[in-house]
Amino acid sequence: MPTRLFPEVIRNLKLFQGVSPDEIADLLSESRVCWYKRGDLLFHQGDPVLHFYIVCTGTFETFKQTPDGKKITTDVVVAGKTMCKTEIFKSPFATHQVSACAVNDATVLEFPYTWLKKAVENHTIALNILSAVSHYAHMVEVEAEHKTTMSAPQQVACFLHRMYLLHDFNPKGFTLPYSKRLIASRLGMEPETFSRAISRLREYGITINGNQVIFNDVQKVEQYVCEHCSIVGECSQAKMHADLDPRKVHTS
Amino acid sequence: MPTRLFPEVIRNLKLFQGVSPDEIADLLSESRVCWYKRGDLLFHQGDPVLHFYIVCTGTFETFKQTPDGKKITTDVVVAGKTMCKTEIFKSPFATHQVSACAVNDATVLEFPYTWLKKAVENHTIALNILSAVSHYAHMVEVEAEHKTTMSAPQQVACFLHRMYLLHDFNPKGFTLPYSKRLIASRLGMEPETFSRAISRLREYGITINGNQVIFNDVQKVEQYVCEHCSIVGECSQAKMHADLDPRKVHTS
DNA sequence: CGACACTTTGAAGACGATCAACGCCGGTGG
DNA sequence: CCACCGGCGTTGATCGTCTTCAAAGTGTCG
């Protein structure tokens, strides 16, 4: 019975917000909890999509390999986040477009793809899933935008700032939760570029020594980041843009 | 009564697939149809998000302006597609992150944001919306990936190929449905880069003269494009990747 | 201890952005 | 009817940034 194992984790999952304990228990009845060790593959690129996953503890990396053998990290999934939310809706005919690999030892809640139809019958769950997927879509949109508008140092600063908000880190000093290589890959840049980027971040009040990150001046960082960033609900000053005059733009 | 105006368009909307005419009529009762002329703004960046939109005829461009006054096209929305699907779930507290401008004269089905809660109570609609949002998220994911892995000519070829599939164009010659400038902006590149890219596409069996596009050899184009592309359901040979061996990848 | 991956730095190269100039077309107004 | 204007599209030259290749130091794990 999964609820025994992670009662507090599961209760706090965004997906189950506003849902009564009885309903949660019912929704969990079809699920199972699985353990994975660092380096284990949750699924392969090319496998049929059979499950919907919620990461309870640990971290996963989803990646894709290009025909020429290169690896592209598409996402880093931390505890509380879901996987396959964009692929599961094509089941049972879809195949995984990415592979998922445990970065740390991890535990995962797994639901069969058939569970979804049932879950959607609960309107609160339906809205929660929709909210999660749309939030994810929006994040991907913004990051795609960043790739075309921001320099490497700016992207790194933006990523560190979001990491700081997401994990509620202490700005006066926190440890990177995973390797620089993974972050670089996640941001779509080479490790060398990432390395050079962080050495240029001192000008913006960010010091990085090994895995230790210090925001010397959080406000300065936020100013720098938010001028170019607008992930609502993740970027605290996004609302600053609300009163920009949109009429300045040249429409085509 | 909107159903009078576009019965065939509405019946064919993916959002309403599998839903009975009575239910559709009920869902449409809260909606209204609006007309827009070329250049009209549907909403402004910064406005509160109050509606969910389905484009019935015509085309819209969603774009964002950066603090330094540049314009970024985030999406081109053709008939049958929806708008605000990633923003509406934060209503009524969210503001539009983009502006929407009619590229052609257009008609739009508009739903108040409160409609969503009601619509989700219909499980088929809930799954259809989820499917639409997740499909959109996947497309954004893939395009973000392309930005880091493909050259400008490759991206253009991929875009033209998807356009050809989406609009069911004749490969032996079709007309670009909107300006090159808009396509370039949509792909996150400068008009100059786009122009240089299309002149290099002859090597891959694509000829472009003015607004006329010819795929001299569709198979060659698909080979070229699909080696780097995997938008399931839009790229016909995506399944080719299903039997790639994922174990070749170096996991971190 | 040795192998291996990670990280950093340097130097060279490729690619796209930028600036500038020009031809083209559609619309406006005289 | 024509002159003018503005936006579009193309081409050339230059510049900045990221990637690539190479090398060396560091740390970890077996």
Tokens 């304990």: give the residue.
Answer: A21
Contact call for A85 and B134, based on CB within 8 A: yes
Of A123, A137, A179, the CB nearest to B137: A137
* Predicted pLDDT of residue A235: 37
How many whole angstroms separate alpha carbon B183 and alpha carbon A218?
A: 38
**A89/B130 touch (CB, cutoff 8 Å), yes or no:** yes
How many other CB atoms sit within 10 Å of the CB of residue A12? 12
pLDDT above 90: residue B84: yes
Statement: residue A239 has pLDDT above 50: no
Give me the mean pLDDT over the A36-47 stretch.
92
- The pTM assigned to this predicted structure is 0.85
Least confident of A46-50, A68-72, A189-193: A68-72
A196 touches strand D (CB under 7 A): yes
Q: Is B65:A248 a contact under the CB 8 Å cutoff?
A: yes
Nearest to B137 among A39, A86, A244 (CB): A86
Q: Give the model's confidence band at A221: pLDDT under 50 very low, under 70 low, under 90 confident, else very high.
A: confident
Q: Is the pLDDT of residue B250 over 80?
A: no
Q: What is the pLDDT of residues B204-233, one digit of tens each?
A: 889 999 999 999 888 878 777 766 565 433
Contacts of B22 (CB under 8 A, 6+ apart): none
**CA nearest B101 in A: which residue?**
A251
pLDDT(B240) > 60: no
Across A37-64, average pLDDT: 93
- Which of A157-166, B4-13, B125-134, B188-197 is the least confident region? B4-13
**Phi, psi (deg, nearest 5) at residue A179:** -65, 155
State the nearest Cα–Cα gap between B166 and chain A, in angstroms.
18
Instruction: Check if residue A198 sits with its Cβ under 7 angstroms from strand C.
Output: yes
Residue by residue, DSSP assigns chain B as: -HHHH-HHHHHT-GGGTT--HHHHHHHHTT-EEEEE-TT-EEE-TTSB--EEEEEEES-EEEEEE-TTS-EEEEEEE-TT-EESTTTGGGTTS-B-SSEEEESSSEEEEEEETTHHHHHHTSHHHHHHHHHHHHHHHHHHHHHHHHHHHS-HHHHHHHHHHHHHHHTT--TT-EE-SS-HHHHHHHTT--HHHHHHHHHTGGGGTEEEETTEEEES-HHHHHHHHHTT---TTTSTTGGGGGG--GGGS---
A212 by DSSP, 3-state: which? strand
The minimal CB distance from B140 to the residues A64, A144, A179 is found for: A144
pLDDT at A242 over 60: no
Predicted confidence at residue B224, as pLDDT, reads 72
pLDDT band at residue A226, thresholds of 50, 70 and 90? Answer: low
Q: Using a CB-CB distance cutoff of 8 angstroms, which residues of chain B are in contact with residue A243?
A: 46
Strand D contact with B189 (CB < 7 A): no
Closest by CA to B72, choosing from B181, B194, B185, B182, is: B185
Please give the pLDDT value at position B223: 74
Q: Residue at minimal CA–C1' distance from C5?
A: B252
Q: Is A249 close to B63, i.e. CB distance below 8 A?
A: yes
Per residue in A158-200, pLDDT (tens digit) is 999 999 998 999 999 999 999 999 999 999 999 999 999 999 9
Q: Report yes or no: B185 and B73 within 8 Å, Cβ to Cβ.
A: yes
pLDDT at B241 > cutoff 60: no
pLDDT score at A58: 92
Q: What is the pLDDT of residues B13-37, one digit of tens each?
A: 889 999 998 999 999 999 999 999 8
pLDDT of residue A246: 32
Q: What is the mean pLDDT of chain B?
A: 84
**Closest protein residue to D26 (Cα–C1'):** A210
Contacts of B144 in chain A (CB under 8 A): 140, 143-144, 147, 188
C-beta neighbour count of B246 within 10 angstroms? 20
Instruction: Say whether pLDDT at A67 is over 80.
Output: no
Contacts of B170 (CB under 8 A, 6+ apart): none
Residues on chain A touching B121 (C-beta within 8 angstroms): 123
pLDDT digits (tens, 9 = 90+) for B102-159: 999 999 999 999 998 899 999 999 999 998 999 899 899 999 999 999 999 999 999 9
In this model, does residue A72 exceed pLDDT 50? yes
**Predicted local distance difference test score (pLDDT) of residue A195:** 97
